[in-house]
Structure 1
Amino acid sequence: MKQTEEHMNGQNDPQDLQEPVNINTDENTPGDQHLNEPVTEESELEALKTKLEEKNDQYLRLAAEFDNFKRRTAKERVELIQTAGKDVIVSLLEVLDDAARAEGQMDKTEDLGQIREGIRLVFQKLRSTLQARGLKPMEAKGTEFNADLHEAITEIPAGEEQAGKVVDEVTKGYYLNEKIIRFAKVVVGK
């Protein structure tokens, strides 16, 4: 009872003097942190700002890299289009040389047999050069009419065995590497 009277009288206990009471602390926070100072929120905010800056930099670099990729592929596409036929043209130069020699021979020679043979050789070389590049002629005459392969110019009356079939080929069709590059223009029997 003596101690309670001393507390009431304003006398301090030696234990009370050792631990001062801080009224600004919360029991859930460390003793050195003030309640009005949100230190953890500022550090979290700084960390989020740093992370945002990193992601923004990463995004800008990725966008620049993609723009470079688009420019590079557009340039390559233009170059490819400009030189797409180069290989074919180079291989046809030999045929052009042969045609020029045949034309020179026609002026010098009166023998039509030699001229015909020379022209046949030039045309055969032209066909073989194009076939080596993947060109294949379409065989249409005598086959069933197929709208996916043939373009009907006209129909003519024909016998029952020729009905629905290609009777004549006005313009030959061609495949390039198994893809149709020109439809055959045909006359169909009805």
Structure 2
Amino acid sequence: MKIFDKEGNADSKEDTQAEAGDPDAKNSGSSGGEAKKTQDNPEEAKEAQGSPEEAKEAQGGPEEAKETQAKEAQGSPEEASASSETEKSPEELCREENEILKDQLLRLAADFDNFRKRTARQIEETRKAVLEQVLLDFLEVTDNFDRAIKSTKTAEDMSSIASGLEQLSKQFFSILEKYGIEKIESERASEFDPHKHEAVQHVETSELPDNTIVEVYKAGYALNSKVIRPAIVSVARNPNETKE
């Protein structure tokens, strides 16, 4: 048998609310438990809150993020240079290439001018050296001529003088041959060659074949097989061999 009174009804109501799981009642109960644990363990509460340095680092995160973004936006110097080159217009690139080619052309022209001057100087030095050697060789002939002239004043036999002059002539022509100068053969009755001879007179004669040399007025010379002076001659015209 149950007895219902005011207190019993109240008690049963509280029990009913507790059993129904009132959220406020449960939260208040859990909060109270955590607070009690914090009070019981002060060190754990301190660790949970964290140190002031950690809190400062947590707050400074946005500033570091801004600096990183700014650096990334600026980029490296190499990237900036590459981007500036890519941003140049075709006219600017063409102008720069033109300046480079112009500089190379000026350098090449200067090198060529120096080469030309150096070559001309070397040629002139070589010419002077060769000329000096030629003159030294001919000075020997000049010395022999001086001795021959002195001997003619005291010599009684003219044959010895003629022999000395022949020796001088041989010495002179040997020096010419040394430097590639040869005398063009132009003997009487030899065939006239317009490449080696120059005719200054035509002589009608039946003693020589037509178009042959009658007389040599001046000898001709060739340097390394190249005619530098043709022989001056007269050419025969044989009336018996006149062409029809």
User: For residues 177 and 67 of structure 1, do their structure 2 counterparts lie closer, same or farther at Cα, with a shift above 3 Å needed?
Assistant: same
Specify the alignment match of 2:181 in structure 1: 135
Indicate whether 1:62 and 2:108 are aligned: yes
| Equivalent residue for 1:124, pick from 155, 170, 178 | 170
Specify the alignment match of 1:170 in structure 2: 217
- 1:110-146 Cα shifts (integer Å, max 9, x gaps): 2222222222211221122212222211112322222
Distance in 2 of aligned mates of 1:39 and 1:175: 69
Return the offset for 1:179.
0.7
SS in 2 for 1:96: helix
| Equivalent residue for 1:91, pick from 137, 150, 153 | 137
Specify the alignment match of 2:206 in structure 1: 159
SS in 1 for 2:163: helix
| Equivalent residue for 2:117, pick from 71, 76, 84 | 71
AA aligned opposite 1:171: K
Specify the alignment match of 2:79 in structure 1: none
Return the offset for 1:88.
2.1
Corresponding pairs, count: 153
Distance in 2 of aligned mates of 1:143 and 1:66: 52
Distance in 2 of aligned mates of 1:69 and 1:133: 29
Return the offset for 1:75.
3.3
- 1:158-187 Cα shifts (integer Å, max 9, x gaps): 227521111111111111111101101111
User: For residues 156 and 45 of structure 1, do their structure 2 counterparts lie closer, same or farther at Cα, with a shift above 3 Å needed?
Assistant: closer
Return the offset for 1:46.
5.8
**Structure 2: segments with no counterpart, 5+ residues:** 1-83, 238-244
- Higher-Rg member (1/2): 2
SS in 1 for 2:217: strand
Structure with higher helix content: 2
- 1:36-63 Cα shifts (integer Å, max 9, x gaps): xx98342766655543333222111111
> Identity across aligned pairs (percent)?
34
User: RCO (CA 8 Å, sep 6+): is it higher in 1 or 2?
Assistant: 1
- 1:6-30 Cα shifts (integer Å, max 9, x gaps): xxxxxxxxxxxxxxxxxxxxxxxxx
User: For residues 39 and 79 of structure 1, do their structure 2 counterparts lie closer, same or farther at Cα, with a shift above 3 Å needed?
Assistant: closer
User: For residues 66 and 97 of structure 1, do their structure 2 counterparts lie closer, same or farther at Cα, with a shift above 3 Å needed?
Assistant: same
